[in-house]
Structure 1
Amino acid sequence: MNERSSAFGKTLKSLRRERGLSQADLAGRLGSTQRHVSFLETGRARPSRYMIQRIERELALPVASSFVLYDTAGFASPYKCRAEDSPDVQEALDLIEMRLLANWPFPAFVLDKRWTILRSNSPGKLFLSGFIDEQNEPPNLFEVFLSPAFRAGILNWEEAAPIFAARLYREAAEDPGLAELLVKANESGLLDGLDEIDRENVPVFVPVEIAGPGGSRLRITSLIGQLASVQDAVIEGMTIEMMVPMDAASESCLLAAGKAAAAANAAE
């Protein structure tokens, strides 16, 4: 068993288990045998490029996982994994900013897989203006969510905390950087008491309620998405978060704030 076969086997085993499949289940999907899948996972057999393509399709793998399979098997991947500061990635970010963020009237952001804010529209910058230090760029949205300043502005923290916690736990399971943030959040007590919260009568949407200007109460949630045709592992790991007002009063307040900010910027 060589080092590459071992790395491929461990990756395949992990992907199979994540999907709750036995070796026999996966073999059935691949038109192979449980014995051959076992050999692949233990490094006793080396996969063909065709087999990787079958695994990729049957497990509906994201680009990043497919990239790892090809790489650990010793094949050139058909997918790219560009550096985040490469011209191609920056061009893609510019496209998202111009075509999506700039046309969304409410706060919107492009985040990398660690929730670092790579791009934001004008309402987004205004939304975070009181929660981030402009000298420490780029800011991290999870750190903003868990900061004392942001938490103090949340009027329904007990209802909103499980939403933030669920996202943080989910992302931290796949990224060591966010795992460190999760540890800090737990140590500081920000996530204390989540198990005691009654969730039996949870509504369809649980908006985050934020103290707005003049004593107003902003009720917002967010849409989180990705572009469907992405063929690059770095871009695939990025998400687009678009804030959505949950009632007419919140919408009017956010739109008014955005217009005022735009007017102030134009006057400078």
Structure 2
Amino acid sequence: MNVYGSAFGKSLKSLRSERSLSQADLAGRIGSTQRHVSFLETGRAQPSRFMIQRIERELALPVSRGHVLYETAGYASPYKCRAEDSRDVQDALNLIENRLLANWPFPAFVLDKRWTILRVNGPGKLFLAGITGEQNEPANLFRVFLSPAFRERILNWKAAAPVFAARLYREAADDPGLATLLEEAHASGLLDGLDETFREDVPVFVPVELLGPDGVRLQVTSMIGQLASVQDAVVEGMTIELMVPMDAATETCLLSAGDQPTNLNAAE
């Protein structure tokens, strides 16, 4: 068993387990046999590039996971994995900022896979004013969500906290850095009692409610997305978060705040 076979086998077994597939299930999906899948996972067989392509297609793998399969199998990956500070990645971020964030009238952010804020538009800066403070490093949106300064401004923390927690649990499952943040949240008691908020009449959306200028009760949620056709593992891990007003009063307040240097989070 060579080193590549061992590494590829572990990656394949991990993928199969994540999707709750047996070896026979996976074999059926990729047109192989349970015996061959077993050999791939134990390193007794080496996958061909064509086999990896079939696994990618049938399991609908993201670019980053496909990249890992090629590399662990000893093949040159068809995908790039550029550094975040590379010219190509910075150009991609500039494109998103100038073509999307700049044209979104409400707070908007570009986040890396650990939810560090890489780009933010003008309304987003106003939205975070007074929360992130002076920092030498870019702010992390999860740390913002869990910070005392942010929670103090939330009027429905008990209802909104499970939404934040669910996102944190999902992301922490694949990232050690966020797993550490999850442990900190547990240790500080921020996630205590969330099970007690269960209701049978949960609405379609659970907006975040906060007090805005002149006592306006703001209600917001967010859209999370990515650009299609991304072929870089680093850029694929980035997400675009666009905040969305849930009612007319919130929309009016957010739009007016974007037109003037006002901290929309600070009640007057």
TM-superposed deviation, 1:66: 0.2
Residue matched to 1:70: 70
Note the 1:220-259 alignment, pairs <5 A: 220-259=220-259
Letter in 2 for 1:90: Q
TM-superposed deviation, 1:212: 0.8
TM-superposed deviation, 1:214: 1.7
Note the 1:194-233 alignment, pairs <5 A: 194-233=194-233
Letter in 1 for 2:63: V
TM-superposed deviation, 1:173: 0.6
Letter in 1 for 2:248: A
TM-superposed deviation, 1:4: 1.2
Identical amino acids, percent of aligned pairs:
78
Residue matched to 1:102: 102
In 2, distance between residues paired with 1:114 and 1:170?
Answer: 12
| Residue segments in structure 2 that go unaligned for 5+ positions in a row | 263-268
Note the 1:37-56 alignment, pairs <5 A: 37-56=37-56
Residue matched to 2:93: 93
Letter in 2 for 1:218: L
Residue matched to 1:35: 35
In 2, distance between residues paired with 1:31 and 1:166?
Answer: 36
Residue matched to 1:10: 10
Note the 1:126-165 alignment, pairs <5 A: 126-165=126-165
| Residue segments in structure 1 that go unaligned for 5+ positions in a row | 263-268
Which stretch shows the higher mean deviation, 86-95 or 211-220?
211-220
CA-to-aligned-CA distance 1:167-205 (integer Å, 9 cap, x gap): 001101110111111111111111110111123110001
Distance 1:15 1:84, change over 3 A: same
TM-superposed deviation, 1:132: 0.6
Letter in 1 for 2:90: Q
User: Does residue 125 in structure 1 map to residue 121 in structure 2?
Assistant: no
Number of residues paired by the alignment? Answer: 262
CA-to-aligned-CA distance 1:87-135 (integer Å, 9 cap, x gap): 0000000000000000000000000000000000000011001101233
Note the 1:167-182 alignment, pairs <5 A: 167-182=167-182
Describe the SS at the equivalent of 1:209: strand
In 1, distance between residues paired with 2:194 and 2:28?
Answer: 41
Describe the SS at the equivalent of 1:210: strand
Describe the SS at the equivalent of 1:218: strand
Which stretch shows the higher mean deviation, 192-201 or 36-45?
192-201
In 1, distance between residues paired with 2:181 and 2:100?
Answer: 29
Describe the SS at the equivalent of 1:260: coil
TM-superposed deviation, 1:215: 1.4
In 1, distance between residues paired with 2:212 and 2:8?
Answer: 52
CA-to-aligned-CA distance 1:4-55 (integer Å, 9 cap, x gap): 1111001001111111211111111111110000000011101011111111
